[in-house]
């Protein structure tokens, strides 16, 4: 699968540079996407892979995000942007996904599954 759009099984959300998102830092509303350039994947100094959350360049250092750089537990991931939810619910390229995942669709629409 390309990096355009994928699925993160750890955080249960869509990832890839085709996915518009907001920086996962709680005090930040910077618009980013969930591509490789924004993911927290630190190699140093704690040896982990980073939290896998997505941050704007202000909140992503060579040591990963603020929390990973400090060796703290990761931030709470933010919900998908409304822009992205709207896209999944309406775009033709997601028609098959909608047909296969009626429960997810109901959840995105805010109704009871």
Where on the chain is the footprint of Zn ion (CB under 5 A)? Answer: 23, 25, 28, 30, 40, 50-51, 56, 58-59, 64-65, 68
Give the whole-angstrom CA distance, residue 93 versus residue 104: 16
Q: What's the angle, vertex CA 18, arms to CA 16 and CA 24, rounded to 5? A: 60
Least distance between Zn ion and beta carbon 84 (Å):
17
Q: Which is nearer to Zn ion, 53 or 84 (CB)?
A: 53
Least distance between Zn ion and beta carbon 12 (Å):
17
Least distance between Zn ion and beta carbon 93 (Å):
28
CA 24, 28, 86, 94 dihedral sign is negative
Q: Which is nearer to Zn ion, 8 or 30 (CB)?
A: 30
Least distance between Zn ion and beta carbon 51 (Å):
3
Give the whole-angstrom CA distance, residue 94 versus residue 39: 24
Give the whole-angstrom CA distance, residue 25 versus residue 40: 11
């Amino acid at each position: 699968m390309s990096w355009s759009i994928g699925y993160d099984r750890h955080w249960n959300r869509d990832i890839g540079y085709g996915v518009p998102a907001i920086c996962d830092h709680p005090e930040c509303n910077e618009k980013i996407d969930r591509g490789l350039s924004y993911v927290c994947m630190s190699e140093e100094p704690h040896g982990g892979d980073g939290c896998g959350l997505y941050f704007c360049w202000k909140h992503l250092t060579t040591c990963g995000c603020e929390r990973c750089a400090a060796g703290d537990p990761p931030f709470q991931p933010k919900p998908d942007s409304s822009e992205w939810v709207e896209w999944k619910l309406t775009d033709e390229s997601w028609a098959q996904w909608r047909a296969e995942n009626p429960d997810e669709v109901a959840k995105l629409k805010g109704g009871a599954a």
